[in-house]
A and B are shown apart, each in its own frame.
Chain A
């Protein structure tokens, strides 16, 4: 069967394959949280949440929530053997201090320079930033998971972000609904693409040049 593009679950699955056993990982609120579900068998990452828990578990059954035990998205979570609590300054020391192995975030736009825009779509309404600007600094790898294009078909991978920036030169890898792309030396380097998609087609959906370095792998993801 030919896939036209990956579902969100499939993008999350692909990102999860690159997380090592024992890695300390922060998943952004919303779509990135899905990555936790797709850890390969035998690997167990330790998840960090900004409000002050390391190694938290899944959501409890409805009715068994303890509202003192939530994640950064303010959803109820559970503890695992080996969990730890800490205050907010320690939590963001973990973030900015280079102690996280991976941070995975969503994006409105990613530039070939690694600039990320994911917190604001402009001056309308009430601005809210949360921990996004902190999370893009300090993790050893800052990865983005995203649709390759916007709902109206515009590229999300661009030469330069036009939306307000979250951080400058911070993203190292992008997992999209069509491809896996690294950011190296201010360029998008194509690592994997859906086999059914030609290079030209992928380039036409991308707002900056895709560099080829060595083989481009097939992006193959199970049905989920």
Chain B
């Protein structure tokens, strides 16, 4: 078994129009910038994929990464918890103009919905959002005297993930707080594509240290010295 692939272009091939795409990261930390930009390259070359639903904690910052996808008009809908950032103009302008849809989900509920999607749990109850506008239309039930809101799983056609080390089986480690949503999204997509800073041989990751077991990974591509969204934005970068 060998899940390594050679190029970013190959990694993002096969993502179709209308696909639901989970993209790892919390702000710039753990954001797979090179995979996102490869997807934008494909869109600019072929006109596809478009009408995407993107699931991420945020809705892009500046003019790189997810913000650049939105700016190019690839995204129909964002599912996120916090569509604000240091420079949220790209999403904000399109949202206020009615050009992009937003499903706002509390952060912990977003994480748990993704986890549930990966774990085969179609719905669960959480205290979060009970009695608020974000619970509108959702079933409510009482357990042991407290009220809870029913939330449904989230799944995706593809997950784009950033990790630190990967081996040919797809076993992964992460770097510091860049872990965030990445391990959950690995579990919840039909196809999980990972950019890793370094591919190591089988046995190169201590089994005790594996965070995402390879069963949740479809393909991995090495991107040594990956770009950081925060640094790109501080430099005023735009993509393409």
A interface residues (Cβ-Cβ under 8 A, vs B): 49-53, 65-70, 74, 79, 85-89, 91-92, 95-96, 115, 120, 125-134, 137-138, 164-168
Contacts and interface: CB of A to CB of B under 8 A. Distances in A.
Given A127-B104, A131-B108, A167 B179 contact: no
A107 B108 CA distance: 20
Interface in B39-90: 57, 81-86, 88
Most A Cβ at <10 Å: residue of B84, B86, B111, B231:
B111
A130 B57 CA distance: 8
- Of all A-B residue pairs in the complex, the 4 with the closest CB atoms, nearest first, are A92-B108, A134-B108, A168-B131, A88-B111
Given A87-B182, A131-B107, A134-B107, A69 B176 contact: yes
B166 interface: no
A133 B81 CA distance: 10
Given A53-B177, A68-B29, A133-B132, A128 B104 contact: yes
Nearest to B104: A127
A70 B177 CA distance: 7
Contact of A131 (B106, B115, B174, B181): B106
Interface stretch (B4-12, B121-129, B199-207, B214-222): B121-129
Contacts of A51: 26, 29, 177, 180
A68 B132 contact: no
B28 A67 contact: yes
Contact of B184 (A50, A89, A96): A89
Contacts of A79: 176
Give the size category of B's interface with A. Answer: 35 or more
B176 A126 contact: no
7 contacts: A70-B177, A89-B184, A127-B102, A127-B104, A129-B82, A130-B106, A133-B108
Given A128-B84, A129-B106, A88 B176 contact: no
Interface in B169-186: 174-184
A119 to B, nearest CB: 8
B91 interface: yes
A87 B129 CA distance: 21
B127 A166 contact: no
B127 A137 contact: yes
Interface string B129-141: 1111110000000
Interface in B10-38: 26-30
A96 B180 contact: no
Contacts of B95: 126
A67 B231 contact: yes
Contacts of B114: 89
A130 B130 CA distance: 15
B84 A133 contact: no
Nearest to B88: A126
Contacts of A89: 111-112, 114-115, 184
A176 B174 CA distance: 41
A67 to B, nearest CB: 4
Contacts of B29: 51, 67-70, 74
A52 B231 contact: no
B92 A126 contact: yes
B107 A69 contact: no
Interface centre among B86, B96, B107 (most CB of A within 10 A): B107
B109 interface: yes
Interface string B157-195: 000000000000000001111111111100000000000
Contacts of A88: 26, 57, 107-108, 110-111, 180-181, 184
A87 B179 contact: yes
Given A67-B29, A67-B230, A167 B107 contact: no
Contacts of A69: 29, 176-177
A37 B179 CA distance: 27
A68 B228 CA distance: 8
Nearest to B86: A74
A130 B107 contact: yes
Contacts of A168: 130-132
